[in-house]
């Protein structure tokens, strides 16, 4: 008589996997190898510190003074919010190139509403529209299985066109909407509400990504989507949520900037903002291929790029060289990521 065969064990759930001695990141993600892998894990800290010290010595209190540092935080609030949300998209295995267009669309809609109506309602509607745009991106990229780079690039053209139609190509001035200005301009402990909003978003998304089951699912979906699916992760829905968060963050960033300057334009954001956001994420050490990264690294990466821009301004150097510098840094970051992954295969 043949011996009964042992039952095939069911795929281990990610939450149970974490209890058995490793998170989903450890199960579905290959460890970083060698110097380049370690550099991606946290190496951005060292160039950031070096650049900060150099600027502090070169320009003294003009650079490290309270006024300049708080100004950097205030000016980078929108970029940082969009970048930390975009980090979740990249870790989940996607990429969102429509953030600049979403930023502009929600900015002009919220500003027009704030001029003629309730500023609070305008802000809420603007963010909801951003969430909706992000959700549409997620549906197209996941359920319709269109590459997220192509899907979001195409959507950016659609969104930009919609924003241009709303404004007729004109700048929207909102000097009369004084309540709208309070959203970004109000200060508490010498820090603007725009910066406080940025800090809140960083903390919330950082906790979600590093301390929750949902965060583990995002890492799993980006590292090995098929293995994650077999382990019970609803990969498509996880990716859709990350795109929705990215769209909402882009909307929030656009509204904050419109509130700061009391104006909005369909030409704002665009490719320049998208490039800056992506550069901050990748320079911070998040893999463009998914499965690796952290919110804190993106924070440092965005601040590193902000210091470069601030240094060019303080030193009165030609800003064209700043663009060249950022391009080289982004190429090195992406190349380092690709090389370290090649070493692990």
Q: What is the model's pTM?
A: 0.86
| Residue 269 · residue 101 · CB < 8 Å | yes
Token pair 């979740």: residue:
88
In whole angstroms, what separates CA 280 from the centre of its chain? 8
All residues at 6 or more sequence positions from 299 whose CB lies less than 8 Å from its CB, including other chains = 80, 84, 202, 284
pLDDT tens, position by position, 8-54: 444 444 444 333 333 443 433 433 444 444 445 557 888 899 999 99
| Residue 258 · residue 107 · CB < 8 Å | yes
pLDDT tens, position by position, 125-134: 999 999 999 9
pLDDT tens, position by position, 156-206: 999 999 999 999 888 999 887 878 988 998 999 999 999 999 999 999 999
Q: Six-digit token pair at 61?
A: 């209190």
Nearest to 89 by CA among 98, 76, 77, 79: 98
Domain ranges in the chain? 22-344
* Burial call 162-191: b when 16+ CB within 10 Å, e when fewer: bbbebbeeeebebeebeebbebbbeeeeee
Q: In the chain, where do the E strands start and end?
A: 172-173, 187-188, 191-192, 263-264
Domain at 22-344, CATH class: mainly alpha
């Amino acid at each position: 008589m043949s011996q009964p065969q042992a039952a095939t064990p069911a795929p281990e759930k990610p939450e149970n996997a974490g209890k058995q001695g490793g998170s989903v990141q450890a199960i579905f993600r290959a460890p970083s190898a060698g110097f380049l892998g370690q550099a991606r894990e946290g190496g951005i800290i060292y160039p950031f510190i070096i650049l900060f010290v150099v600027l502090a010595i070169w320009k003294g209190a003009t650079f490290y003074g309270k006024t300049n540092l708080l100004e950097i935080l205030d000016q980078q609030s929108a970029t940082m919010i969009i970048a930390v949300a975009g980090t979740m998209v990249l870790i989940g295995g996607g990429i969102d190139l429509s953030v600049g267009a979403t930023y502009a669309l929600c900015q002009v809609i919220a500003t027009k509403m704030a001029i003629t109506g309730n500023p609070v309602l305008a802000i809420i509607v603007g963010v909801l529209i951003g969430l909706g745009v992000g959700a549409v991106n997620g549906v197209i990229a996941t359920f319709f299985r269109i590459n997220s780079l192509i899907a979001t690039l195409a959507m950016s053209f659609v969104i930009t066109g919609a924003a241009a139609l709303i404004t007729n190509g004109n700048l929207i001035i909102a000097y009369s909407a004084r309540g709208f200005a309070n959203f970004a301009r109000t200060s508490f402990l010498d820090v603007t509400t725009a910066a406080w909003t940025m800090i809140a978003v960083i903390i919330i998304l950082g906790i979600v990504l590093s301390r929750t089951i949902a965060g583990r699912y995002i890492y799993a979906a980006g590292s090995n989507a098929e293995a994650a699916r077999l382990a019970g992760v609803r990969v498509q829905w996880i990716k859709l949520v990350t795109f929705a968060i990215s769209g909402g963050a882009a909307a929030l960033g656009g509204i904050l900037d419109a509130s700061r300057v009391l104006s909005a334009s369909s030409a704002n954001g665009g490719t320049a903002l998208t490039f800056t956001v992506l550069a901050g994420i990748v320079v911070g050490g998040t893999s463009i291929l998914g499965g690796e990264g952290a919110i804190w690294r993106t924070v440092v990466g965005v601040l590193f790029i902000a210091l470069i821009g601030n240094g060019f301004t303080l030193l009165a150097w030609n800003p064209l060289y700043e663009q060249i510098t950022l391009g080289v840094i982004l190429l090195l970051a992406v190349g380092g990521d690709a090389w370290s992954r090649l070493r692990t295969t």
